Amino acid sequence: MLIQKKFRCIKPEIRVLGIDDGIFIPRAKGLVDIIGVVFRGGRWLDGVMRTEVDVDGIDATDKIASMILESSHYQQLRIVMLNGITFAGFNVVNAQKLYEKVNLPIIIITRDKPNFEEIRKALEGLPYFEERWKAIQSAGDVVEVRVKRDGKPIYMQTVGISEEEAEEIVRRTSTRSNIPEALRVAHIIASGLARFKGRGNI
């Protein structure tokens, strides 16, 4: 079993991978793009990676792990950030398993505090309910983070890293908004790609 990683010092140019999904039609069958963006700190874009997962499927953990491990950027990465724990609808990432597969700490970021009662109700109607729900629970406690003193809080869950170190990394990498730059840019790319495909350009 992997132990929680500790950083002697958090460098300004720490390599962070931010992951988000594209726009999709809920409950529709098909594949959704998952985009990973590599940033040095919150200022320099170093690379982009891509994979696909099934809408409401159960393959997000394995597909994201493979995307990371097969990337030329893997050896330089220090943190993986997820924009939420569900992708392509309710394709849930098991953060503990992802951490074990890629040997990198996981930080899950959401703009709004997760309502686990509502999430559980939504999952109950899907196959592999128990597996999905256990994956949700594996992400740990939800912690409020204020990136800007006078700004709206965001919410964080962590696996493989202390809350204190994760919070410092989130603050250092949130340079242009109240979420880390790697996640902000991953969202822009994933959304733009989905719109491009939607117009029949691919």
Please give the pLDDT value at position 2: 57
Fold for the domain defined by 15-196: archaeoglobus fulgidus dsm 4304 fold (3.30.2170)
- Quick check: 16 and 173 in contact, CB under 8 A? yes
For residues 179 and 110, give the distance between their C-alpha atoms in angstroms, rounded to a whole number: 9
What's the rounded Cα separation, in Å, for the pair 77 and 16?
6
Terminal C-alpha separation, the chain: 42
In the chain, domain spans: 15-196
Question: Phi then psi for 76, rounded to 5 degrees?
Answer: -90, -15
Q: List the pLDDT tens digit at each of the 202 positions of the chain.
A: 556 766 656 788 899 999 999 887 776 788 999 999 999 998 999 999 999 999 999 999 999 999 999 999 999 999 999 999 999 999 999 999 999 999 999 999 999 999 999 999 999 989 999 999 999 998 989 999 999 877 789 999 999 999 999 999 999 999 999 999 999 999 999 988 866 665 544 4
